[in-house]
Chain A
Amino acid sequence: MAMSQATAAGPRRNRVLNGILVNGTLALICLLWLVPLLGLLVSSFRERSDITTSGWWTVFPHKSYISAKQDQLTKGLALDKPIQVEGVSLTDDQLRAGYTLPDGRKLIWANRRARIVDVQTSQWTTKANFTTANYQAVVLGQTYTYKQSDGSTKTEVGEDMSKAFINSLTVAIPATVIPILLAAFAAYAFAWMRFPGRRPLFAMVVGLLVVPSQVALIPLLRAFSNLHVNGTYLSLWLVHTGFGLSLAIYLLYNYISGLPREILESAFIDGASPFTIFLRLILPLSVPALASFAIFQFMWVWNDYLYALIFLGSTPDTQVLTIKLANLIGSRGQDWHLLTAGAFISMILPLVVFFSLQRYFVRGLLAGSVKG
């Protein structure tokens, strides 16, 4: 009895150790994954001047030198000789770089020309000044005013992204919904009907899953320009329908072919036509698979950059969020207050969809690749 307890203590300690190791490593990796996103989110709520002069992590409590008082030296004091300040004698260079006294205080020029020295003490501090001005600038296109390093204020116009947001919605919703019905009909035929050419045609569907869309872009673009659909939403709806269809058929085929045969057979015996069976049985039963594909496709279309760039272009009236954001990087690459807020605006909807419908999204992913 006593012996078995003694031997059990070893594994238990091991298990605790293992648990710490596992959770510790996992926590570290998660932190690594969160830091980039956290930086973006925090910065999008900081003022422009704060973003450019201090790291976003300074919003968290940290130790830093804070000005305690300022010493006004004699105006016009010679700087090439040792300078007497706070009881020590320092050179100009030392005061420029900042000199730490034995008691922990730091002496540094506050204004060299006016001969003012900053006496700083190390304190716990935080730079947590938050503002929604960045979001007002990117959502409403409002102007914003900020202090420049020389103290003067400057007013600039923001970047209105609300139109791009509407454009993205206009592209994404039809491009998600249109392929579904087409794919469901085809998947049903491949799963439950026998016809000549079924094998090669389905092989084509599977083959097209991995075909890089680049091979189709040049002829498509030419055909579209002959049909005068380039630069319209219609072109993107069609392209996303065409390119998303193979995945949709394949995904729905996997699901529909797995439906129990008995249900379909009993419906056949009752005399229902395949069309009725499709509408009354297959579609309602396939809702989980349809939802999985819909979420997958919505995210894909919303986040797409290449097709939007090629077919819709960057006309201000029609450009979608990804295009707008990419252009913003090009034209205002250092305006981090706009970029961070704008990036967050562009990802808010997919993130909401992701967190509310994660289960369906993962299911779509699994069906789409594991069975491959």
Chain B
Amino acid sequence: MIHQTRDAENKRASSAATSGWIPGQFFAGLLGVVVVIALLWAGFIYLRAARSASILNAIVAIIWGVGGIGALFYVSNTLIEALPQKSRDRIRPFLFFGPGVVILFLFLTIPTLITLYQSFFNNDTTRFVGLSNYIATFTDRSMLESFRNNLIWLFLGTGFCVSFGLLIAVLADRSKFESLAKAIIFMPMAISLVGASVIWRFMYAYAPADQPQIGVLNAVLTSLGLQPQSWLTLQPWNNLFLVAVLIWGSTGFAMVLFSAALKGVPGDLLEAARVDGATEVQTFFAIIIPYIQGTILTVTTTTAIGTLKIFDQVFVMTGGQYGTEVVGTEFYRQFFTNRNFGYGAAIAIVLFIAISPVLVYNLRQLQKQEGF
């Protein structure tokens, strides 16, 4: 079967090489491209109208998405295979990376540029306002509060996730129950932040002092003879209790990456250190930490980006009230509730700028990589 196709392709390749191009196949391919694009458009119209959730529509969507793209690749490949060798080789890469890159342009690159443009305009993009949206971003009281809270998220969230993750990875590495412990710590990664919000709202549940406490934290407090607290409205500490949800959810991510990195520390290096009389703590700081510093940097930046983009927990647990507003919820409020597009766009761009050092670093790393 495979040999047959190869033979056929050999023949086709040789005939294309001699005669330049194959008009019949070319026009068949062209027709195919037109038909597939028409079918994709028809599917788009159909799916746009399909508002009921049914397994049938999901199947149609998969056929449309996967089948349509597969068919598009196939017919355009037929088309370019009919071209002379030289142009074929030149065009082929565009066929392969084209659809994916076009989608990236349409969904991320171009919208980002439009957002940048809109950030210099008023709320319905009719009047140029210069930098005033940005000035508002850095002077508005509620925005300043968001920045302060995001810094709390950034430092505490990232700090705890990374250090807990490393601690647990090191402990698990020396334990017989490694896989069980890792599965437990990692499990919250599978849970949505909305689900985690329910879980933690229940942990923080508050009842007046004379009633039975159903939240674990307040039960601990009252059993110690202290007054129960309404954790989520307790300013400014409530931010820390929201960060705890992130730590519970994301430490598993850090741990898994560290755990993999620890496995890469050469055993004879550690053995040599022990023979030389180094203590566990010395080995940890002098050998393990330097050895996995690349992973530490990756985990730190990834978690830090996550904390800057934080939205779900805050929006679901407090709605940004009681002094817990963050940039993500502020953006949502300006954009959807207040319909202030220019201001919302400026907030999004500020968020982008805050993350851009990581972007630059990643690109530098890419430059060092072989083949690039």
Task: Assess whether A157 is interfacial by the CB under 8 Å rule.
Answer: no
> How distant is the Cα of A182 from the Cα of B70 in the complex, in angstroms?
8
Contact of A211 among B110, B112, B172, B365 (CB under 8 A): B112
Is there contact, CB below 8 Å, between B198 and A56?
Answer: no
Is there contact, CB below 8 Å, between A33 and B248?
Answer: yes
Contact of A366 among B195, B257, B362 (CB under 8 A): B257
Known A-B contacts A166-B53, A370-B260; the reply to A210 vs B216 at CB < 8 A is no
> How distant is the Cα of A206 from the Cα of B192 in the complex, in angstroms?
26
Is there contact, CB below 8 Å, between B110 and A219?
Answer: yes
Is there contact, CB below 8 Å, between A232 and B51?
Answer: yes
Is there contact, CB below 8 Å, between A173 and B58?
Answer: yes
Is there contact, CB below 8 Å, between B216 and A55?
Answer: yes
Near B by CB (< 8 A), chain A positions 233-286 give 233-234, 237-239, 241-243, 245-246, 249, 257, 270-276, 278, 280
Near B by CB (< 8 A), chain A positions 52-72 give 52-57
> How distant is the Cα of A359 from the Cα of B48 in the complex, in angstroms?
37
Near A by CB (< 8 A), chain B positions 31-59 give 44, 47-48, 50-55, 57-58
Contact of B199 among A245, A322, A343 (CB under 8 A): A343
**Would you give the 0/1 interface string for A312-334, flagging 1 where the beta carbon is closer than 8 Å to chain B?**
00000110011001100100010
Q: Which of B9, B103, B115 has the most CB of A within 10 A?
A: B103
Task: Assess whether A121 is interfacial by the CB under 8 Å rule.
Answer: no
Complex contacts, A74 vs chain B, CB 8 Å: none
Is there contact, CB below 8 Å, between A209 and B362?
Answer: yes
Known A-B contacts A22-B171, A26-B181, A274-B96; the reply to A326 vs B194 at CB < 8 A is yes
Task: Assess whether A292 is interfacial by the CB under 8 Å rule.
Answer: no
Is there contact, CB below 8 Å, between A354 and B189?
Answer: yes
CB distance from A218 to the nearest CB of B (A): 6
Known A-B contacts A201-B101, A346-B194; the reply to A30 vs B184 at CB < 8 A is yes
Complex contacts, A249 vs chain B, CB 8 Å: 100, 104
Is there contact, CB below 8 Å, between B168 and A29?
Answer: yes
- Name the residue on A nearest B11 (C-beta): A271
Task: Assess whether B278 is interfacial by the CB under 8 Å rule.
Answer: no
- Name the residue on A nearest B360 (C-beta): A207
> How distant is the Cα of A362 from the Cα of B187 in the complex, in angstroms?
12
**Would you give the 0/1 interface string for B42-84, flagging 1 where the beta carbon is closer than 8 Å to chain A?**
0010011011111101100110011001100110010001000
Complex contacts, B295 vs chain A, CB 8 Å: 370
Is there contact, CB below 8 Å, between A210 and B316?
Answer: no
- Name the residue on A nearest B5 (C-beta): A276
Near A by CB (< 8 A), chain B positions 182-224 give 183-195, 197-203, 205, 212-216, 219
Known A-B contacts A195-B93, A211-B355, A370-B260; the reply to A242 vs B107 at CB < 8 A is yes
- Name the residue on A nearest B58 (C-beta): A170
CB distance from B235 to the nearest CB of A (A): 20
Task: Assess whether A134 is interfacial by the CB under 8 Å rule.
Answer: no
CB distance from A350 to the nearest CB of B (A): 4
Which of A2-10, A77-85, A98-106, A184-192 has 4 or more CB atoms under 8 Å from chain B? A184-192
Is there contact, CB below 8 Å, between B115 and A219?
Answer: yes
Is there contact, CB below 8 Å, between A186 and B97?
Answer: yes
Is there contact, CB below 8 Å, between B192 and A233?
Answer: no
A-B contact count (CB 8 A): 374
Complex contacts, B108 vs chain A, CB 8 Å: 208, 211, 213, 216, 242-243, 246
Is there contact, CB below 8 Å, between B53 and A43?
Answer: no
Complex contacts, B365 vs chain A, CB 8 Å: 372
> How distant is the Cα of A120 from the Cα of B184 in the complex, in angstroms?
40
Is there contact, CB below 8 Å, between B257 and A369?
Answer: yes
Complex contacts, B10 vs chain A, CB 8 Å: 271
**Would you give the 0/1 interface string for A340-352, flagging 1 where the beta carbon is closer than 8 Å to chain B?**
1011001100110
> How distant is the Cα of A354 from the Cα of B332 in the complex, in angstroms?
31
Known A-B contacts A211-B108, A369-B257; the reply to A43 vs B202 at CB < 8 A is yes
Is there contact, CB below 8 Å, between B192 and A273?
Answer: no
Is there contact, CB below 8 Å, between A39 and B219?
Answer: no
> How distant is the Cα of A322 from the Cα of B216 in the complex, in angstroms?
24
Is there contact, CB below 8 Å, between B299 and A36?
Answer: no
CB distance from B150 to the nearest CB of A (A): 12
Give 19 pairs: A residue, B residue, CB < 8 Å, sorted on A: A18-B174, A22-B171, A37-B188, A43-B202, A204-B104, A207-B359, A211-B359, A218-B335, A219-B111, A223-B111, A234-B61, A237-B65, A246-B108, A249-B104, A275-B81, A305-B316, A306-B311, A347-B190, A347-B192
Additional A-B contact list (18), CB under 8 Å, known A26-B175, A310-B336, A369-B299: A29-B185, A34-B184, A55-B216, A181-B69, A189-B96, A203-B363, A208-B108, A211-B359, A212-B348, A212-B351, A213-B309, A241-B107, A275-B77, A299-B190, A305-B311, A347-B192, A351-B187, A354-B190
Which residues of A are at the interface with B, using a C-beta cutoff of 8 A? Answer: 18-19, 22-23, 25-26, 29-30, 33-37, 39-40, 43, 51-57, 163, 166-167, 169-170, 173-174, 177-178, 180-183, 185-186, 188-190, 193-195, 198-199, 201-220, 223, 227-229, 231-234, 237-239, 241-243, 245-246, 249, 257, 270-276, 278, 280, 299, 302-306, 310, 317-318, 321-322, 325-326, 329, 333, 336, 339-340, 342-343, 346-347, 350-351, 353-355, 358, 362, 365-366, 369-370, 372
